[in-house]
């Protein structure tokens, strides 16, 4: 189906991403999944190919493309069955570095954004804490000014790229009495004394992506590492989350489309009772519903992303995209597994991976329940 989000140029980038994924990444995917870590050469390689700067200005080493260029890259990586790498790259280029471009000083852009676009420095984003997940404003990580420095104390968890990252975009409390109006963003480099990775989290899905617990223990950073304005962190993160949810929704539907095609192919070749199982109405209708739900979610995502690209503020609409896409994707993956019967439940067929990976889409970047809260609030409830 046609859409207004992508032009021929975007489709050319999609082809280039597919060639890269098929030739350079997919041959290693099973090994990375087993090792629960994809190789460190992937980020620099993506940087060299220009994939990490598709939508960033040329003066910072980007390709100068529009917002949809970043989306088509993430979408195609997920569609190729590389959702762990897709998520890691999206955390880097669609979640951690957009606040740098929007709120960063020129010096910060030169020190962090330029090497991030080249893939020389990997970025992560630190919001979640052991006692603060959905309730972002309740974070406890503290930043206290001391002369020309800030001193950080606290803990972050579930941080994607947390093991490999060279710097973190960190949300911390600067004015504890002001609630959400007392949070700020900081840039903290790996190797800064007091900043360390304390644990690597083992996960059900997205296994090739590293997820870490991080600790900040009297970690001193220069005052110039405050990102944007002091005490504006909550609003900066709410802005960031729109992009995070949009790209998450698009990646979820892309992986759902992949697993749908696997189920369709299987239904055409698996014979029971003397005919392909796809000829039974019970299976055919499942596939028809899956195709319809994927297309509906995809079109909602594309039209919302198009409006985001035009600069609209779309908190409710993006929450709707994330909610619908995650629900559809998990349902499609579950039905695809069912269509594969017992083989779907084995590690020999790829359907199990999408079934595990996609479960995250209903949690990461804000849960289904949080998305419904946002939508309900917009209805005046
Ligand atoms: C693999 C993975 C990668 C991640 N990557 C990152 C990352 O890079 N950076 C980062 O900062 N975070 C990251 N996260 C964290 C993620 O954003 C949080 O897990 C998510 O926001 C939910 O927070 P929580 O896990 O603390 O759950 P909780 O907030 O404790 O929620 C538990 C349950 O209670 C429900 N709930 C909570 N509040 C309400 C309410 N008001 N009304 C109704 N229901 C409610 C939730 O919907 C959920 O079902 C990642 C998580 C995972 C699993």
What is the position in ligand 1's atom list of the atom closest to the CA of 126? 11
Q: Are residues 242 and 341 in the same domain?
A: yes
Confidence check: pLDDT of 151 > 70: yes
Share of the chain above pLDDT 70, in %: 99
Classify residue 353: in a domain, yes or no. Answer: yes
- Nearest protein CA to atom 44 of ligand 1, as residue: 369
What is the position in ligand 1's atom list of the atom closest to the CA of 161? 8
Residue 150 banded pLDDT, cuts 50, 70, 90: very high
Q: Are residues 92 and 166 in the same domain?
A: no
Q: Are residues 116 and 219 in the same domain?
A: no
Q: Are residues 131 and 226 in the same domain?
A: yes
169 ligand 1 Cβ < 6 A: no
Q: Give residue-wise pLDDT tens across range 296-325.
A: 999 999 999 999 999 999 999 999 999 999
Classify residue 1: in a domain, yes or no. Answer: no
Residue 161 confidence (pLDDT): 98
Q: Which residues are bridge partners to 186 per DSSP?
A: 170, 226
Confidence check: pLDDT of 1 > 90: no
Classify residue 59: in a domain, yes or no. Answer: yes
> What's the CATH number where 104 sits?
1.10.540.10
Residue 323 DSSP symbol? H
CA-CA distance, 217 to 362, in Å (whole number)?
32
Residue 287 confidence (pLDDT): 99
Classify residue 295: in a domain, yes or no. Answer: yes
**Which of 95, 121, 147 is a domain's end point?**
121
Q: Are residues 365 and 259 in the same domain?
A: yes
Q: Are residues 109 and 137 in the same domain?
A: no
Whole-number mean pLDDT of the chain? Answer: 97
User: Contact at 8 Å (CB) between 227 and 185?
Assistant: yes
Q: Give the range of the structural domain holding residue 34, as residue numbers without chain letter.
A: 8-121
Classify residue 315: in a domain, yes or no. Answer: yes
Q: Are residues 302 and 360 in the same domain?
A: yes
To test the ligand 1 pocket, which listed residue (90, 128, 200, 376) has its Cβ within 8 A of the most ligand atoms? 128
Q: What are the residue numbers of the active site?
A: 244
Q: Give residue-wise pLDDT tens across range 152-174.
A: 999 999 999 999 999 999 999 99
Residue 128 banded pLDDT, cuts 50, 70, 90: very high
**Which of 231, 255, 275 is a domain's end point?**
231
Q: Give residue-wise pLDDT tens across range 183-231.
A: 999 999 999 999 999 999 999 999 999 999 999 999 999 999 999 999 9
Q: pTM for the whole thing?
A: 0.97
CA-CA distance, 244 to 181, in Å (whole number)?
22
Q: Are residues 164 and 36 in the same domain?
A: no
Cα of 134 to ligand 1 centre, how many Å?
Answer: 5
168 ligand 1 Cβ < 6 A: no
160 ligand 1 Cβ < 6 A: yes
Residue 2 confidence (pLDDT): 65
53 ligand 1 Cβ < 6 A: no
User: Contact at 8 Å (CB) between 360 and 209?
Assistant: no
CA-CA distance, 380 to 373, in Å (whole number)?
11
Residue 95 confidence (pLDDT): 98
369 ligand 1 Cβ < 6 A: yes
> What's the CATH number where 164 sits?
2.40.110.10
**Which strand (E) or helix (H) includes residue 157?**
strand 149-160
Classify residue 3: in a domain, yes or no. Answer: no
Cα of 367 to ligand 1 centre, how many Å?
Answer: 6
The mean pLDDT value for 119-135 works out to 98
State how many domains the chain has: 3
Question: At residue 120, what are phi and psi to the nearest 5 degrees?
Answer: -85, -30
User: Contact at 8 Å (CB) between 56 and 113?
Assistant: yes
What is the position in ligand 1's atom list of the atom closest to the CA of 203? 1
Cα of 374 to ligand 1 centre, how many Å?
Answer: 15
To test the ligand 1 pocket, which listed residue (367, 373, 374) has its Cβ within 8 A of the most ligand atoms? 367
Cα of 363 to ligand 1 centre, how many Å?
Answer: 6
To test the ligand 1 pocket, which listed residue (122, 125, 133, 359) has its Cβ within 8 A of the most ligand atoms? 133
User: Contact at 8 Å (CB) between 140 and 132?
Assistant: yes
The mean pLDDT value for 3-14 works out to 94
Classify residue 2: in a domain, yes or no. Answer: no
- Nearest protein CA to atom 14 of ligand 1, as residue: 158
Classify residue 370: in a domain, yes or no. Answer: yes
Confidence check: pLDDT of 3 > 90: no
138 ligand 1 Cβ < 6 A: no
Q: Give residue-wise pLDDT tens across range 338-353.
A: 999 999 999 999 999 9
Q: Give residue-wise pLDDT tens across range 13-41.
A: 999 999 999 999 999 999 999 999 999 99
**Which of 98, 121, 144 is a domain's end point?**
121
> What's the CATH number where 264 sits?
1.20.140.10
248 ligand 1 Cβ < 6 A: no
Q: Are residues 350 and 308 in the same domain?
A: yes
Q: Are residues 177 and 253 in the same domain?
A: no
Residue 4 banded pLDDT, cuts 50, 70, 90: confident
User: Contact at 8 Å (CB) between 210 and 164?
Assistant: yes
Q: Are residues 250 and 293 in the same domain?
A: yes
Q: Are residues 370 and 244 in the same domain?
A: yes
């Amino acid at each position: 189906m046609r859409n207004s989000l992508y032009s021929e140029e975007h489709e050319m980038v999609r082809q280039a991403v597919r060639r890269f994924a098929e030739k350079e990444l997919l041959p290693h995917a099973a090994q990375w999944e087993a090792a629960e870590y994809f190789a460190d050469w992937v980020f620099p390689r993506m940087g060299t190919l220009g994939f990490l700067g598709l939508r960033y200005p040329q003066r910072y080493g980007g390709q100068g493309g529009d917002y949809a260029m970043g989306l088509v890259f993430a979408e195609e990586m997920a569609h190729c069955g590389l959702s762990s790498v897709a998520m890691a790259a999206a955390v880097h280029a669609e979640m951690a570095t957009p606040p740098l471009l929007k709120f960063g000083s020129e010096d910060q852009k030169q020190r962090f954004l330029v090497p991030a676009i080249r893939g020389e420095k990997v970025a992560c984003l630190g919001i979640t804490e052991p006692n603060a997940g959905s309730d972002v404003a309740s974070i406890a990580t503290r930043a206290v000014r001391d002369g020309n420095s800030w001193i950080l104390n606290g803990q972050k968890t579930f941080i994607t790229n947390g093991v490999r990252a060279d710097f973190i975009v960190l949300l911390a409390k600067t004015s504890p009495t002001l609630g959400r109006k007392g949070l700020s963003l900081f840039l903290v480099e790996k190797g800064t004394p007091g900043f360390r990775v304390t644990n690597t989290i083992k996960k059900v899905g997205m296994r090739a992506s590293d997820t870490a617990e991080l600790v900040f223990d009297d970690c001193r950073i220069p005052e110039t590492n405050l990102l944007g304005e002091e005490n504006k962190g909550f609003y900066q993160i709410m802005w960031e989350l729109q992009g995070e949810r949009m790209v998450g929704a698009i990646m979820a539907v892309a992986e759902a489309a992949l697993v749908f095609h696997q189920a369709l192919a299987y239904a055409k070749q698996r014979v029971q009772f003397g005919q392909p199982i796809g000829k039974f109405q019970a299976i055919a209708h499942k596939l028809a519903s899956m195709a319809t739900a994927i297309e509906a979610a995809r079109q909602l995502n594309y039209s919302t992303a198009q409006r985001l690209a035009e600069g609209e503020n779309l908190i409710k609409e993006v929450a709707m995209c994330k909610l619908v896409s995650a629900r559809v994707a998990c349902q499609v993956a579950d039905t695809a597994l069912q269509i594969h019967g017992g083989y779907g439940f084995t590690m020999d067929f790829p359907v199990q991976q999408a079934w595990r990976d996609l479960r995250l889409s209903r949690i990461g970047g804000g849960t289904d329940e949080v998305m419904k809260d946002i939508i309900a609030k917009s209805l005046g409830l």
